Amino acid sequence: MLPLILLADDDNFDHFFFRKALKEMIVVTHHLTIVKDGEQLMNYLYEKLDHLPDVLFLDLNMPRKNGAECLSEIKKDPKLKALPVIIYSTSLREDIANELYKAGAHYYLQKCDFSDLAESIRKVLALLAENPNQPPRDKFIFALDKV
């Protein structure tokens, strides 16, 4: 069965690079769906309650409803709270990372150079396959050099 990957990000360049990175991951076959803002994300999830994605890569800075608001809504809903959420954002502030961890995000993946993106996605997906639960806080911020 193909892993269903959902990317919530409003940046078309990020869509292109994320899609390209997934294509480079020869060992992982996938189905990717992209939504462009927080309201579209939440509508998509509520429409797909019977067939949720396997993982959500969630940008923080999106229009209409930001990533932190979406994460909070997802983790408060009994039908959605088990969905693994990977924060996928350019910024990385420790105080915000702490709040996102407390809110239930699984990993925080800072947007990186394209050369590292495929490997970062592959490793995050492998970690989730090994253990779908939220890791300890010291493992929350994902970096290739820390794995």
Predicted confidence (pLDDT) per residue in 16-69, tens digit: 888 888 887 755 556 889 999 999 999 999 999 999 999 999 999 888 899 999
Beta strand pairing status for 141-142 and 107-110? parallel
What is the rounded distance in angstroms from the CA atom of residue 47 to the CA atom of residue 81?
15
pLDDT, residue 13, reads 87
Please state the pTM of the whole predicted model: 0.90
pLDDT band at 1 (very low <50, low <70, confident <90, very high): very low
The percentage of the chain sitting over the pLDDT mark of 70, rounded to a whole number, equals: 91
| Closest by Cα among 78, 99, 77 to 87 | 99
What is the rounded distance in angstroms from the CA atom of residue 125 to the CA atom of residue 109?
12
The greatest distance separating any two alpha carbons of the chain, rounded to the nearest whole angstrom, comes to 38
pLDDT, residue 147, reads 44
Express each pLDDT in 129-143 by its tens digit: 899 899 999 989 876
Tell me phi and psi for residue 36, to 5 degrees. Answer: -110, -5
